[in-house]
Each structure stands twice: as C-alpha cells, then as structure tokens.
C-alpha cells in the first residue's frame, strides 16, 4: 500500500509532534515573525555563548592571539587566500591546481571573505566566528527537526545536548568547516521534512548540493538524500508528471559528479590528494586486501567504542549507540512518512563510518571527520530515550522517565565540557609552538625566493610567505604515492625536479605521517646540523597526548650535489635498459613488482649513501619481477644489480619469460652494497623484451631471500 502525506497518520504525532506548515504568511517580515520560535533562539544563544567561551580559552592560552588547534586549518586559509587573490586551488602562486582542500565550498567561502577584506589576523577570526555561528544555527535546526519528528520536548532536549557538546564546540571554534557542515546536514534534513507534505522538493536539492560540496562525508548523505526524494516522488506522485521533479532531485548527485570531474580535468585523477595520501587503499607500497580490512575494521571498532561511550565519555555517555539505534527503530516503526528519509540517514551514517574508517587518520584530530554528524546522532539518541519512556503506561511516569534519563545524559556532557575547552586551548598553544612558529621563522630568516619542503604544510605556507613543497602530498600533486612508498621514492621524485624547483630547505619532523626524514640527513641530502630547532613546550594532556606526533621541528638546508649519482652504471658495457628501484616512474615503465613472502610485509623504499653515490632501493623479503626493454634477441644478457644482502639466505632463482635459467648468488653477507652480476643465456632472449623474475630457491619456507635492491642495469 502506498504511503502518502494524507494516509497512515494515526499514531504519528504523539506527544506534541508538529506537522510542517503548508501555509506561508504573506510578506517577509510577517513570515519571519510567524515562524520565529523563542526556544530555538534561546538554544542557539546558549551555543553561541559557549562557543565564545571556547574562543576566549583559545585566546587565554595564546597571550591574546587567536591560534587554530590544527595545522589543517591553515591549509584551508592558504587555499582561501589564494582563491581570494585570484589563484584558485593553487597552493603556491603558479602551481598546478591541487586538491589538498577537502572542502570545495569552504574554500570558496574563505576566498570570498578574503576578497572583501578579511585578511591578516581577521582571516582566522572570520573562520572561527563563522564556525561558531553555524553551530548556533545548527542547534536551532536540531530543535526544529526534533519538534517535527517527535515532540517539542525531544527538540528542546536535543538542542540542549547539542549546545553543550564539547566536541561540537571544539569543532566550531577550530576554524575548520565543522560548523558549516553541521549546519548544512541539519538544514538538508529539515528542509526535506518541511517539503515532504507537499511532495515538491524545491529547496532540498539546493541545500543538499551545498552539503555535497562542503565535505566528502556530506556528499555521501546528499546522494542518499537523492534516493529518499526519488522514493517519495515515486510513492505519492505515481500518476503525475514526475520527470522534471525527479531530475531536479538529482542536483546533489550532479554536483558530486561535477566535483570529481573537476579533479580529473585539473589533476589527471579522480582521487583527491587527501585520499591518495591517507586511504588504506593507497598509503602503503603494496595493497593487501586482508590488511585493508583489518585496519578498516579496527577504525570502525574504535569509532563505535567512542560513540558508545566505551572509550572514555568525551563523546558519548555509556550505551549511547544502543539508545541511538532504538531511536532509529522507533521512528521507522511509528513515523511511516519519514521512512525514506530515515533509511537514507541510517545508510548515510553507516557509509560515513565505513568511508572515514578507510583513512589512516580516522581516529585522530579529535575524530573531527565525524563531528558534523553528531547533532543528528544526538537528536536520534534523544528519540531513543523517548522510545524507552514509552514503556511506562502512565503519562506522568513517561514524562518523568524521559527527563530523568536525559538529565543524566546532560550531566555527562557538562562534566566533559571544560575538558574540551582546555583541549582547544592546549592544542592551539601546541600549534603555536610548532607550525605557526615555524612559518614565522621561515618568513623572517629564509631568502624570499627560497623553496621549502615541509611535512605540515598549512602554517608554514600561510605565515612563511615562501613557496612550499608538501612532502606528504596534500598540497603538492604527485608526492602522496612517493611519500607512502618511503624515503627513497620521495627522494627520487624531488631529485627529478628541475634544479631551480628543488627545495632549498626542509622543515621536518621524524615520526609519521609521511616518509622518514632521517635517511635524508644520513645520505647527505640534508646538512648534518639543523639551522633551527623548534621544540614542543606546550604540555601534553593528562594521558600524555599532544595534537602533534613529534617533540621538535627542525629546519635543514638541502644539498643536491650528489643527486642522480645512483643512476650511473657501475660496470662497463652497452646498457640496453635500466631499472631504478625506488623510482616510481622507472618501476612503472618496467612493470616492476615486489613479491614478498608473507602477506603484510611491505617493500618500503629507502635511501642510502655509499662513498659519493646516493641511491634509492627497496627492502625485499622474497623476490622481484620486472620487464627489460630494448634487448637484442638471441644475444647474451648481463644483469648487473646494486644489492645489499644482509640476510641469511642470499640466493635467488632467475626465471626469464617463465623459464628458469639459473641461480643468482647476491653476494656475501655484509653491511654495504655491492654490484653483483648474472648472465642470461642467449637462447633465453627471444624478443626485444624479457620478463625477469627473481624467486626464492626454496619456495614457501623460511629463511627467505632478504636483500635491498637499488637498481638493475641490462647489458648486452
């Protein structure tokens, strides 16, 4: 039976649930006054006041200067500044377009603000004030949605819990797009329920389109909201002309497709730099399906623990996830006309959790990827408390139980609230100690035309006023894969830059994310002593945690005099081809594969210097395969390899085009590389290309061949 706005309404508006208004008063002023609800304004005011308190705490921790608690905020500001100056999505003026800004919409908002005069210190102030105001509006929207879905009491309690939520206030005052995204999520849902009775979705697609462009997670919910609108149209407008309304509901989907088309046209790939850098599908040299599943499920478990209150109560009271699910189930059973919306929301929550959990950064930065969906999570949890209260038969017992349970939830939020304010202050002070201080030091101490390679690219570029190269690959195209492959691959990518475009200085730290930096110092690419050391002096929290993964930032001068010395052939002869192991382009052109003998082992690239030769290589446990080109058929082939073989097993079988041609001894056990050669008989070379495979002499069983290959020269 088709459910419509006019049927199956019995039992759907208990406890004061309000129907969306269909009548619209004439005149804008009259309409505004008619729709104004004092409780919504009061709740928004509480959120605004507490947001201001968080900003004051930030100022107090930083001697009266507003500082962001994340370096990522300054990435947004840098993109916004560039856009405002007429260089859209160029992180440095003159750079190719890059996709390091995870929010297209926020970049344009910031760019517009910069263009009209919010510059200098006012720029971050604008971002923070915008976030706080958007969160206050979100609070009011939560109230209205709760009032429509269930009752005024549900709306009030949901608004109260959103207004005093420490994570949401932290996100709102951070300068990130948390407040804007939260507002668009709730606005999309509220506009949907307002337009559902008339079955004319005029504004829902517009607001959902903005949501799709503000965050990748918002895009997921926006696409599912398209499905909810189409489902609704199919159910109640079956006999009417629905083609035009149906096409209009697909506007968010078109916007999502347009964003990825922009990525493809601008950068040559559909994948944003952040995904290339952080996704479990991309962040290691070799993709193991079991490893991806294991790491993703670990993030999902961690997320569920946080939002079920089982890993501290900073985000949720104990058992909150169970109550949330009860709220969803209650609404699905009792609110038939909202089922398409509720199903879209449930699928959206699940898809967002899974999608974010595929990132290596899912559980860091105070779980900021999930913050925009917390208002909706809180609202549905309050609906769950309402459902629990229905167990009581007496109306008075229902009301008392409902309010008592939510008072307990409120106490958990209030207890955590001061800690979140302190987190904001402490973390902003840490960023002042490190990334902001680094940017100011760069601006005051390095030549104006200096190029600086950095790991944290936000404040270094924003305050440093120098061209920067992002060694992690967020703001610099093409470096994410190299960084994820290790120091050797990163070195090769930087080495191949024209001499005038290589970094003159490196501002780095050692721990992940990104490739290890110490090998660059050991190889002499960076000077032995740093030009400047910026220690972290901001205290850690009670658990020893800091918002940055390092103890100090160091600035080194770069030395490229030995760049490329590893490519010279170390033996005489006519070199027909050369595979530079660790150089991603060379590996791709030779169809290179590392065959590790245990799933999960990674052939990470490294960098090593021996005498006056610097070369990249890969750590192998097992074997390799590659294709040699430009060969003369019927002529003997000599393979010369630069190899370091410290393991117990140092021999490999050699197969050419699937035919075994001998065993290669990779040299004596030693702590230095050596050049070892193997001769392939002439009859094994049957064409201009040959597929060479190095495999264990004793397959399956340990000890496996363990060595580092730095490169192979093919000589005839």
Q: How open is the CA angle 242-248-251, to the nearest 5 degrees?
A: 145
- Percentage of the chain beyond pLDDT 90 is 89
| Average pLDDT for the chain | 93
Total domains in the chain come to 3
**Domain finish residue from 557, 575, 602:** 557
Is-contact 379 406, C-beta < 8 A? no
Kindly tell me if the per-residue pLDDT of 155 is higher than 50.
yes
Same-domain status, 446 and 404: no
Same-domain status, 570 and 552: no
Range of the domain at 535: 434-557
Kindly tell me if the per-residue pLDDT of 21 is higher than 70.
no
Q: Report if residue 23 sits inside a domain.
A: no
Q: What is the pLDDT of residues 643-691, one digit of tens each?
A: 999 988 999 999 999 999 999 999 887 889 999 999 999 999 999 999 9
**Domain finish residue from 557, 582, 611:** 557
d(CA 366, CA 386): 29
Residue 10: the pLDDT is: 38
Q: How open is the CA angle 358-180-108, to the nearest 5 degrees?
A: 90
Q: What is the pLDDT of residues 367-395, one digit of tens each?
A: 999 999 999 999 999 999 999 999 998 99
Q: What is the pLDDT of residues 156-178, one digit of tens each?
A: 999 999 999 999 999 999 999 99
Same-domain status, 522 and 646: no
DSSP lists the bridge partners of residue 446 as: none
Q: Report if residue 633 sits inside a domain.
A: yes
d(CA 204, CA 252): 9
Q: What is the pLDDT of residues 218-235, one digit of tens each?
A: 999 999 999 999 999 986
**Domain finish residue from 537, 557, 577:** 557
For residue 442, CA distances in Å to 85, 200, 465 come to 22, 56, 8
Kindly tell me if the per-residue pLDDT of 457 is higher than 80.
yes
d(CA 320, CA 310): 9
How confident is the model over 624-653, as a mean pLDDT?
96
For residue 647, CA distances in Å to 20, 617, 702 come to 73, 16, 11
Same-domain status, 507 and 634: no
Burial readout 505-517 (b: 16 or more C-beta within 10 A, e: otherwise): bbbbbeeebbbbb
d(CA 292, CA 290): 5
Contacts (Cβ under 8 Å, ≥6 apart) of 21: 35, 194
499 burial class (0-12, 13-18, 19+ CB within 10 angstroms)?
exposed
Residue 273 is encoded by which pair of tokens? 């730099």
Neighbours of 49 (CB within 10 A): 12
Residue 512: the pLDDT is: 86
- Collapsing DSSP to helix, strand or coil, 452 comes out as strand
Same-domain status, 517 and 570: no
Q: What is the pLDDT of residues 240-249, one digit of tens each?
A: 577 888 999 9
Place of tokens 């169970």: 322
Whole-prediction pTM: 0.92
State in Å, rounded, how far the first CA of the chain is from the last one: 79
d(CA 277, CA 140): 37
For residue 189, CA distances in Å to 12, 422, 705 come to 18, 33, 58
Residue 243: the pLDDT is: 84
d(CA 33, CA 18): 18
Contacts (Cβ under 8 Å, ≥6 apart) of 267: 96, 97, 98, 99, 273, 477
Kindly tell me if the per-residue pLDDT of 28 is higher than 70.
no
d(CA 548, CA 437): 14
Same-domain status, 516 and 657: no
Same-domain status, 416 and 444: no
Same-domain status, 301 and 163: yes
Residue 577: the pLDDT is: 98
Q: Report if residue 19 sits inside a domain.
A: no
Residue 313: the pLDDT is: 79
Same-domain status, 476 and 450: yes
Q: Report if residue 429 sits inside a domain.
A: no
Is-contact 433 551, C-beta < 8 A? no
Is-contact 414 44, C-beta < 8 A? no
How confident is the model over 58-86, as a mean pLDDT?
98
Burial readout 166-199 (b: 16 or more C-beta within 10 A, e: otherwise): bbbbbbbbbbbbbbbbbbbbbbbbbbbbbbbbeb
Residue 435: the pLDDT is: 97
Same-domain status, 639 and 708: yes
Residue 5: the pLDDT is: 35
Q: Report if residue 392 sits inside a domain.
A: yes
Q: Report if residue 31 sits inside a domain.
A: no
Residue 692 is encoded by which pair of tokens? 């060479």
Same-domain status, 321 and 457: no
Place of tokens 């191949």: 496
d(CA 629, CA 108): 48
Residue 19: the pLDDT is: 59
Q: Report if residue 659 sits inside a domain.
A: yes
Residue 488 is encoded by which pair of tokens? 């050797």
Residue 709's domain is classified under what CATH number? Answer: 2.60.120.260
Same-domain status, 280 and 193: yes
Q: Report if residue 615 sits inside a domain.
A: yes
- Percentage of the chain beyond pLDDT 70 is 94
């Amino acid at each position: 039976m088709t459910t419509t706005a006019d049927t199956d309404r019995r039992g759907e508006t208990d406890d004061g649930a309000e129907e969306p208004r269909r009548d619209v008063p004439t005149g804008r002023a009259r309409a505004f006054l008619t729709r104004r609800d004092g409780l919504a304004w009061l709740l928004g005011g509480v959120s605004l006041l507490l947001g201001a308190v968080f900003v004051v705490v930030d100022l107090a921790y930083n001697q009266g200067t507003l500082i962001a608690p994340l370096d990522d905020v300054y990435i947004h500001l840098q993109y916004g500044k560039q856009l405002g100056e007429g260089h859209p999505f160029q992180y440095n003026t003159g750079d190719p377009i890059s996709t390091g800004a995870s929010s297209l919409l926020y970049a344009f908002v910031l760019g517009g603000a910069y263009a009209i005069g919010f510059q200098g210190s006012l720029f971050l102030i604008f971002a923070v004030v915008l976030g706080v105001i958007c969160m206050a509006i979100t609070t009011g929207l939560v109230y209205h949605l709760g009032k429509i879905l269930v009752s005024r009491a549900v709306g009030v309690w949901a608004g109260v819990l959103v207004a005093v939520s420490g994570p949401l206030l932290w996100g709102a005052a951070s300068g990130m797009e948390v407040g804007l995204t939260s507002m668009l999520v709730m606005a999309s849902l509220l506009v949907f329920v307002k337009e559902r009775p008339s079955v004319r979705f005029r504004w829902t697609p517009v607001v959902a389109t903005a949501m799709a462009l503000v965050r990748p997670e918002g895009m997921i919910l926006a696409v599912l909201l398209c499905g909810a609108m189409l489902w609704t149209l199919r159910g109640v407008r079956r006999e009417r002309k629905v083609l035009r309304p149906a096409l209009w509901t697909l506007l968010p989907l078109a916007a999502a497709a347009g964003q990825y088309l922009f990525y493809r046209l601008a950068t040559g790939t559909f994948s944003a730099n952040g995904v290339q850098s952080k996704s479990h599908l991309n962040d290691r040299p070799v993709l193991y399906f079991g490893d991806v599943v294991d790491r993703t499920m670990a993030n999902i478990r961690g997320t569920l623990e946080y939002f079920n209150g089982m890993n501290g109560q900073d985000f949720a009271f104990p058992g909150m996830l169970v109550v949330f699910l009860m709220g969803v189930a209650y609404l699905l059973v009792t609110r038939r006309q909202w089922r398409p919306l509720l199903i879209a929301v449930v699928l959206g929550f699940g898809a967002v959790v899974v999608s974010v959990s595929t990132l290596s950064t899912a559980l860091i930065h105070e779980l900021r990827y999930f913050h925009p969906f917390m208002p909706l999570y809180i609202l549905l949890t309050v609906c769950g408390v309402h459902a629990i209260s229905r167990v009581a038969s007496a109306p008075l017992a229902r009301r008392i139980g409902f309010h008592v349970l939510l008072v307990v939830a409120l106490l958990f939020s209030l207890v955590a609230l001061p800690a979140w304010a302190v987190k904001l202050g402490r973390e902003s002070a840490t960023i002042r100690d490190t990334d902001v201080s680094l940017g100011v030091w760069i601006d005051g101490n390095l030549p104006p035309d200096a190029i600086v390679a950095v790991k944290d690219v936000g404040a270094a570029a924003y305050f440093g006023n120098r061209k920067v190269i992002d060694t992690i690959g967020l703001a610099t195209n093409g470096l994410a894969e190299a960084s994820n492959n290790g120091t050797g691959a990163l070195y090769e990518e930087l080495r191949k830059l024209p001499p005038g475009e290589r970094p003159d200085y490196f501002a780095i730290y050692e721990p992940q994310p990104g490739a290890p930096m110490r090998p660059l110092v050991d190889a002499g690419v960076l000077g032995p002593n740093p030009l400047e050391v910026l220690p972290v002096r901001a205290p850690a929290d009670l658990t020893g945690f800091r918002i940055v993964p390092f103890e100090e930032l160091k600035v080194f001068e770069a030395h490229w005099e030995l760049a490329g010395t590893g490519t010279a052939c170390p033996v005489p002869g006519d070199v027909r081809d050369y595979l530079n192991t660790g150089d991603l382009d060379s590996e791709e052109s030779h169809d290179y594969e590392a065959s590790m003998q245990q799933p999960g082992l990674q052939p990470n690239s490294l960098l090593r210097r021996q005498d006056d030769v610097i070369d990249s290589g890969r750590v192998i446990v097992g074997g390799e395969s590659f294709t040699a080109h430009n060969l003369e058929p019927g002529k003997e082939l000599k393979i010369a390899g630069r190899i370091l073989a410290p393991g117990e097993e140092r021999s490999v079988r050699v197969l050419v085009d699937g035919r075994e041609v001998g065993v290669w001894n990779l040299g004596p056990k030693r702590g230095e590389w050596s050049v070892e050669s193997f001769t392939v008989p002439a009859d094994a070379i049957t064409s201009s290309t040959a597929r060479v495979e190095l495999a264990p002499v004793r397959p399956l069983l340990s000890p496996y061949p363990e060595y580092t290959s730095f490169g192979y020269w093919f000589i005839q």
